[in-house]
Structure 1
Amino acid sequence: MDSGITVITNPTVSVRLTSTISSFEANKRYNRGITIADFKGKLEMVVGTPASCMELQLFSPTDKFIQKLDDNEALLGSYPVDDDCKIHIIDRSGAQIGEFSDLSKVEKFEIPDEVYEKRTDSVRSFMKKQRVGRFNEEETAKKEAELATREAEEKAAAAAIAVGNRCQVNVVGLPIKIGTVMYVGTVDFKPGHWVGSEV
């Protein structure tokens, strides 16, 4: 018997995903017409938990628990899943939180510098052939000369200023102020010669 009621909803839903093995939250969009079993298969790629070890919990947009998504044959859209709802994935495989983000457990490929230097298929080899970055001696020498010139100019300008001299302080957007030089020299937090004043 046809009741004459038609339900029209968006075919996709945007949900927030959290899990017991990750501290991150992901925002994803899924088709409401997929089964929970297929949905779990898609979640494997997001959270890293095998579909067979997942337990799904549905929360409202305000993080209030609604129900479990426990019928693998049911459609995602048959549950009250709306945009911005949270689906929390509980991992029953025994994995610990942060297990997939702990880089100390990842085996790394390491090569001694002298062996890497001899390789012809490396980034360093390519940069040398193309004379890029630090392997472009002319550009490096030019930058070093410019830096030395700028440093000499700054040193000469700083030598002409003495502590106790009166100075004019110009700051963009503020009125000009008259001050007293309190420091002339280099600092440990940044290169170059500095002049400090009190206004």
Structure 2
Amino acid sequence: MSLISLWVSSPDTHSERRLGLDLTVHQLKLKLEPITGIPLGAQTISLRRTATGAAADHPGQLVALLDQDSKTLADYGAQEYMTIRVESSDPHARGLAGQFTDDSQVEKFELTPEEYAARGDTVLAWKMRNQIGRFAPPAPATSDPGLAPTLPADLVPGARCQVALSDELSRRGTVRFVGPTEFGAKDGSVWVGVEWDEPVGKNDGAVEGQRYFQTGPQRASFVRPDKVTVGDFPELDPFADDDDEGEDEEMEM
């Protein structure tokens, strides 16, 4: 099954999803109901070109109305980073729409930044104790070629990889860049540019105005080589249920 990245947009939601080109419109509607909250029978779906620089709620140029349940996304000419716009044809058939975004009735617990920093039972305190993320000790300087780390021979662009972000959290992607960078020029360190399977990154392959490779928004990060394991890591099912990993501040650019 060929997967592509598409934006899914509705009056209450906007997110990036990996969808198979062989999905029929009927199968797509089944997947869109829990995402958008709009019941299957009330969904009106259109495929649109995503306007560069436009706001998330911008409809984009219409490509096709997905009004034949038996046709597939491929039949309608879906391409990377187009937008699937979902509207409700029945204003009374709201389903779960609105329940995901209306927090007016939710009792909130709030802390000031100072109160949060003073607590010892927070993610921030755990990171400080374990020297993770921005609290990690600086990497040793490697400006001397004799001190440069030896990289694995299979750590090359195009290789599938898994990146350890902490003792318990790892993510998968594809290596797209290996080498020194402008943001690491001071210590001569080598960074690995990874294109993530999911939109969990920090950038699109460019850092501080310098481009190292090209991918979609929030699909790229730069990590240290010792965090990367190359191997046969297949892409995970994007619709599988994942446990909530909590807040994580990754060691990446």
TM-score where L is the length of structure 1? 0.44
- Structure with the larger helix share: 1
TM-score where L is the length of structure 2? 0.35
| Higher Cα radius of gyration | 1
